[in-house]
Amino acid sequence: MNQVTIKDLARHLGLSASTISRALNDNPSINPKTKKLIHDLAAKLGYEPNVMARNLKAQHSNQIGIIVPEIKHDFFAKVISGIEEVAYNSGFTVIVSQSNEDEEREKLNANSLYMNRISGLIVSVSQTTNNLDHFRNLMEKGVKIVFFDRICDGLDTYKVVIDDYKSSYDAVKYLIATGYKRIVHLAGPQNLLSCKNRYLGYKQAIIDNGYNFEEELVVFGGMHEDDGIRSIKNIIDKGIKFDAVFAVNDPVAIGVSILVKKIGLNIPGDVAIIGFSNNPITEFVTPSITTIDQPAYEMGKKSASILISLIKGKTKLTGSKTIILPSKLIIREST
């Protein structure tokens, strides 16, 4: 119950707290014999430094905060996994919180993390976030922030992403090269830069390949399975003809796949489908779905290592503040 403190050790050995502290931190100005004595006693009594006290003194927590929309999404879970790995190896702990795609909750999370005096923050912003003041405030207070994937404009800090525009452009180009003529795009919320870029990539690929860009082939919606079902149903009900669907992400693509199969259409015979993220499910569904691989684990590792460099402020990070990780079109049965 009662923890052993430096003072306890000091009393036992008739030394001062300062000596104990120095010995345990391997300060060279302490007599090796004394040092050994202290280390031995510490081990014997099971002394564990009180990180709260140490942090209070040091004025930082050695903790990295994470805010993601939802932990249970495969992509975010993997990113967190990567962050934790790097953080752990650098002596940081990781505090996780989820915004549940709610701006208000995101604000509260950011604030709560600041109260814990986190050394840095890694964020993928919520779908509903429009105002960025809560992040701006933290930055002004000296908290380093790195954004990944769901990044946003208007904040001068590091961002780790893939090239959504190009990935999207390439995917659509591939569809066209394969012979598809009327490609629907189920787009995501446009306040998310990544969704916007995916949309723009789609649009440009359409234009660059001599097709007409048709408004009716684009539906703006959410990012879940049922959004996919709903959006594609909408298109079909309107009698709009199409032979391929490029979805803003995998759940939406799967939604499309479900509905399309349900009404008896053939994939990819009647409709080709491309998703985004390489969620494990896309590999196992039938037909397996072509998608764009986002290196989630790597993204977490990269974000964490940048953040830690920022926190330590040692090496001046060179190059652009937006780090682009390689993505890859994974071609499967659905195209």
Partner DNA sequence: AACGCTCCTGAAAACGTTTGCAATATAATA
Partner DNA sequence: TATTATATTGCAAACGTTTTCAGGAGCGTT
| Residues at the contact surface with DNA, assessed by CB under 7 A | 3, 5-7, 14-19, 21-22, 24-25, 29-32, 34, 47-50, 53-54, 56-59
Of the residues 21, 34, 55, 191, which one makes contact with its own copies according to CB under 8 A? 55
CB 183, CB 246: distance < 8 Å:
yes
Q: Indicate whether 136 belongs to the interface with its own copies (CB under 8 A).
A: no
Let me know the angle formed at the C-alpha of 135 by 134 and 140, rounded to the nearest 5 degrees.
100
Task: Kindly tell me which of 164 and 225 has the beta carbon lying closer to its own copies.
Answer: 225
Give the list of residues 6+ apart from residue 53 with CB closer than 8 angstroms, or none. none
Of the residues 285, 292, 308, 310, which one makes contact with its own copies according to CB under 8 A? 285
Binding mask 139-158 for its own copies (x = CB under 8 A): --xx----------------
Question: Binds 24, which of DNA, its own copies, none (CB < 5 to 8 A, cut-off by type)?
Answer: DNA
CA distance 168 to 159: 19
Task: Kindly tell me which of 57 and 314 has the beta carbon lying closer to DNA.
Answer: 57
CA distance 280 to 175: 22
What is the H or E stretch that residue 204 is in?
Answer: helix 193-208
CA distance 118 to 65: 6
Q: Which two tokens stand for residue 207?
A: 């234009």
Question: Binds 115, which of its own copies, DNA, none (CB < 5 to 8 A, cut-off by type)?
Answer: its own copies
Q: Which residues pair with 67 in a beta bridge?
A: 97, 123
Of the residues 81, 131, 190, 322, which one makes contact with its own copies according to CB under 8 A? 81
Task: Kindly tell me which of 258 and 329 has the beta carbon lying closer to its own copies.
Answer: 258
C-alpha distance from residue 66 to each of 124, 143, 296 (Å): 8, 13, 15
Question: Binds 43, which of its own copies, DNA, none (CB < 5 to 8 A, cut-off by type)?
Answer: none
Q: Which two tokens stand for residue 223?
A: 């990012």
Q: Indicate whether 3 belongs to the interface with its own copies (CB under 8 A).
A: yes
What sign does the CA torsion over 89, 94, 98, 101 have? negative
Task: Kindly tell me which of 50 and 116 has the beta carbon lying closer to DNA.
Answer: 50
Ranges within 82-101 binding its own copies (CB under 8 A): 84-85, 88, 93-98
DSSP 99: -
Minimum Å gap between C-beta 195 and its own copies is 23
Minimum Å gap between C-beta 304 and its own copies is 13
